[in-house]
Amino acid sequence: MSEVELLESIEQSAQMDEKDRHYAKAGKALRELSHALKNILQMVGGATEVIDYAFQLKQMDKVEKSWPILSQNVKRMKKNLMDILDYTKKQNLEKCSCNLNEELKRVLNSLKSVAQVKKFKLQAQLDAGLPEVNIDPERIGLMTLNMLLNAIDQVPEEGGMVTIQTRYIASESQFEISVSDNGDPYTPEFQKQIFTPHETHKQRFSTGIGMMLAQQIANQHEGVISVHCSAGQNSLSAIIPIKD
């Protein structure tokens, strides 16, 4: 075997190992998803039965109370399914030069109703000096959405605060998207499993695979998401290089 053939063989082997790891994670994600969907379907089934019975008795007050439960859990089910589909299928990036801050404002606007329901403050500190960046805006938007949903699930019932920041790191030719919350500090166990498929116990807005998908998107842009935890604040930070 020539040196070129040997290098090609090693490269192909590395690619196969990467695929195996990817599929192993996807398989674990599907197992976790089945547990999550089972719980969600139980909630949907219970709410549907109450609504059906209330309609028969024309008790519209019970319909109004049960409808948000049904609606929220249907949305959760859809989010779980979309996350696993996004993770398992090969996604080719569609990069373009864009204004990152404007893209993130669209993501924030989509969460206004969530902030009203959960009664927390959602604030943005966007770096006006950030230049246009060459990214896939839809994928980065999805990455940021999952970071935000994770933070939203951490905030307390009263006085909750979620903050998103962008920062231009000119010296390193990078940009940063960070999302912080004022919820209880992440446990060491949660910090270890946040980027792997896991069962969500709070089960409100995020999914057990959302942050795994977010990390995948960051990696596709040659970046990485890291976790930071201190007294009174949890933070997720995505550092991504700026490339032409």
- Rounded to the nearest integer, the mean pLDDT of the chain is 82
Measure the CA–CA gap between 48 and 54, rounded to whole angstroms. Answer: 10
Greater confidence (21 vs 217) lies with 217
Quick one: which of 161, 152, 151, 166 has its CA closest to 104? 166
pLDDT classification of 2: cutoffs 50, 70, 90: low
Provide the phi-psi class of 59: left if phi over 0, else alpha when psi is between -120 and 50, else beta: beta
Question: Is the model's pLDDT at 16 over the cut of 60?
Answer: no
Measure the CA–CA gap between 234 and 236, rounded to whole angstroms. Answer: 7
* Local structure of 177: helix, strand or coil: strand
pLDDT classification of 134: cutoffs 50, 70, 90: very high
Q: What tens digit of pLDDT does each residue of 138-193 get?
A: 999 999 999 998 999 889 888 999 999 999 999 999 999 999 999 988 888 888 88
Q: Where are the domains of the chain?
A: 3-88, 96-241
Q: Are 128 and 175 in contact (CB under 8 A)?
A: no
Quick one: which of 224, 192, 212, 159 has its CA closest to 30? 212
Greater confidence (179 vs 71) lies with 179
Domain 96-241 belongs to what topology? Heat Shock Protein 90 (3.30.565)
pLDDT of 213 = 87
Range in 12-21, 127-136, 151-160, 168-177 the model is least confident about:
12-21
**In terms of DSSP H, where are the helices of 110-209?**
112-118, 137-152, 188-193
pLDDT of 172 = 95
pLDDT of 196 = 81
Name the packing angle between helices 210-220 and 137-152 (round to 10°). 150
End-to-end CA distance of the chain: 38
